[in-house]
Chain A
């Protein structure tokens, strides 16, 4: 009888022990900064001054009327579409290819993560070189096909393409690795059966693998949505440290706009309001993407 009661206690109570380390630490160190910035967003708060008058929702209403905010939103959306969609598709294909028994597994896996471990400084210097107007390699290759020199920095579309290229380069391998880990949990028997039935590699990918790793796909879509809407390093580096994202803010993303306000103008209140508005947008977009991906049939 005692063993039965202990067992019931175990089933009912132990989950809380498993999640409590996370929530305790998070409550202390993660929640406090979040709530603090929410509090700051309700004030006229400059990091350079000591007086912080309460202004209610003024920062938010000002933001919604700010054309730079909307400009940043459009830029962010455009860059997100251009970078996230190709990235995830490429990652799926890559992971599928790597899922079969290949020679030199460790070599390919390390290769997947090389873009992530390359330092941001190096990336800035090299991509700056690649997309240089007069002497960049990309323009040189285009020149071989007869196209003229593109000023990648100056145009809206061109700057979005260049930045998306940087993002795709950096994150495709990362997502491929996540897909790969998930694919390897799919039982080989399923694939064997399909092979015996004569299914091609692509068919196996679409009909078996993708439904089997549906939770992982949902996961990467949500994470890429969240990350993609917060892109900061790439536009900052592409603009060589300039906070306006180009002469006409043509590639200023929401995160760069936030950074300009928070650490350029030191307007902490306005930047905090931006952060929370971004949160709202991210939550909505993530929810939409989630419902779209759920349409994939379950395995």
Chain B
């Protein structure tokens, strides 16, 4: 009984402390303007915050970082309940479409002066964050770009050229990619396929079309747009030619696949480089990077938005504008490797001279900047992510042998119709 009393007293004491602790935390009495910025992953802004605060002593910057999925879910919850969002919210391009549906929840940055800096970015990056009513809700941060990472040692074994310029010449189109793949398959290297799985190829092919899943009026054109079926069919062709390692992206098998050379090529955005370097340390120097078939592409990249809930829109905009300006993006690139979206940097030596030794000293600065500089803008509608999931599931079903291509396509289209 005595022990129980002790336990109860202890807990009561803790409760008391809890009451005190829960009350504290709010530092009133400072005259600084607090700007809260919500990000995910690694935006690489920590040093920038210090720099900005030193130059603007009246501003205090607080960062919130969570996992991408949770971060965006929280934004939805905070917007829906009208409370709790940060002053600046970073939004990734995959989620951007959902938020563009309701642009009234965000400040139209054109009203705050964004038009002056419009030309910093390539046209597609600028357009992607413009809502249907013409409001610009985001300032571009980084881009993924897209190139093709390949294993030089495996290519050599298959009798294919290994020099990256020659390799880029092998596949100016996706047809060239597939025929190169067939040559690789014919070399019969054990436990090694040409590429990892259907998802990335499909997205890359689709991303190169003028019009994708939506037209500019937010109508879904999956069925009527031949480009969508074309991307689907092209990927099926690659699957049917036996070029796929049938590995699901981000799975443990996929990680192991990098180490064991289970796939000779993989479409890689700039941030994939760090991943490959982490997962397959022993393969340093065995990789190189060539152009992506079709020449242009992008996977990944974010925007800084300013929800209307903020009380400090002017200060928030000033900070967001500064963070996304070319000078700062160059600093982030040097420190954290996030590839800048401001095309004015692309002729700067910081980009043009950047090479990656892990990837046989490939001039990655040039390669990725070229892949995004001339990219066409493709309108991304609100449910693009879910629609892509449905179509990629269809491709996976074909790969797993559950359905034929036509059946899988019909099912995917039916699912898409249900979604919207």
Contacts and interface: CB of A to CB of B under 8 A. Distances in A.
A132 B397 contact: no
Chain A contact residues: over half helix, strand or loop, or mixed?
A: loop
B400 A128 contact: no
Interface stretch (A5-13, A174-182, A260-268): A260-268
A33 to B, nearest CB: 13
Given A47-B76, A248-B393, A128 B386 contact: no
B393 A247 contact: yes
B393 A48 contact: no
B276 to A, nearest CB: 18
B253 interface: yes
Nearest to A134: B253
Contact of A49 (B77, B102, B248): B102
Contact of B251 (A50, A240, A244): A240
Interface in B242-280: 247-248, 250-253, 256-257, 262
A241 interface: yes
Contacts of B79: 48
B396 interface: yes
Contacts of B396: 247
A248 B253 contact: no
A50 B82 CA distance: 11
A266 B252 contact: no
Given A247-B400, A265-B386, A135 B252 contact: yes
A133 interface: yes
Which residue among A154, A244, A247, A266 has the maximum number of chain B CB atoms within 10 Å of its CB?
A247
Contacts of A243: 389
Nearest to B76: A47
B419 A128 contact: no
Contacts of B383: 265
A150 to B, nearest CB: 12
A132 B98 contact: no
Interface string A132-164: 111110000000000000010110000000000
A132 B393 contact: no
B26 interface: no
Interface string A38-72: 00000000011110000000000000000000000
A240 B400 contact: no
Given A48-B98, A240-B251, A264-B386, A134 B400 contact: no
A258 B228 CA distance: 29
Contact of B102 (A48, A151, A153): A48
A244 B415 CA distance: 11
A154 B403 CA distance: 12
Nearest to A127: B252
B362 interface: no
Contact of A248 (B77, B101, B252, B397): B397
Nearest to A266: B76
A151 B400 contact: yes
Interface in B61-78: 69, 73, 76-77
Main secondary structure of the interface of B (DSSP, over half): helix
Given A48-B98, A132-B251, A266-B76, A248 B256 contact: no
B9 to A, nearest CB: 20
A123 B80 CA distance: 32
Nearest to A154: B400
B192 to A, nearest CB: 12
A58 to B, nearest CB: 15
B317 interface: no
B198 to A, nearest CB: 10
Given A134-B247, A134-B253, A247-B393, A263 B73 contact: yes
Given A133-B253, A135-B252, A247-B396, A49 B101 contact: yes
Interface string B358-402: 000000000000000000000000110010010001101100101
Contacts of A129: 252
Contacts of A244: 389, 393
A283 B253 CA distance: 40
A50 B101 CA distance: 11
Contact of B76 (A48, A125, A133, A240): A48
Chain A contact patch, size range = 20 to 34
B299 interface: no
B106 interface: no
A95 B99 CA distance: 52
Contacts of B102: 48-50
Nearest to A62: B418
A243 B386 CA distance: 10
Contacts of A264: 386
Contact of B248 (A47, A153, A263, A265): A153
Contacts of B253: 132-135
A134 B263 CA distance: 13
Contacts of A153: 248
B76 to A, nearest CB: 5
A8 B73 CA distance: 55
B47 to A, nearest CB: 29
Nearest to B69: A241
A273 to B, nearest CB: 15
B99 to A, nearest CB: 7
Nearest to A265: B386
Contacts of B257: 134
A247 B400 CA distance: 9
A135 B256 contact: yes
Interface in A227-245: 240-244
Quick one: which of B79, B251, B257, B262 has the most chain A CB within 10 A?
B251
Most chain B C-beta atoms within 10 Å of own C-beta, residue among A129, A136, A153, A154:
A154
Contacts of A248: 393, 397, 402
A265 B419 contact: yes
Contacts of A133: 253
Nearest to A128: B252
Contacts of B389: 242-244
Given A154-B400, A241-B69, 20 more contacts: A47-B77, A48-B79, A48-B98, A48-B101, A49-B102, A128-B251, A132-B251, A134-B256, A135-B252, A136-B252, A154-B402, A240-B250, A240-B251, A247-B393, A247-B396, A247-B400, A248-B393, A264-B386, A265-B386, A266-B76
16 contacts: A47-B77, A48-B101, A49-B101, A125-B252, A132-B253, A132-B256, A133-B253, A134-B247, A134-B256, A135-B252, A136-B252, A247-B393, A247-B396, A247-B402, A264-B386, A266-B76
Closest 10 pairs (CB-CB, A-B): A247-B396, A247-B393, A47-B80, A154-B400, A132-B252, A134-B253, A247-B397, A135-B256, A129-B252, A132-B253
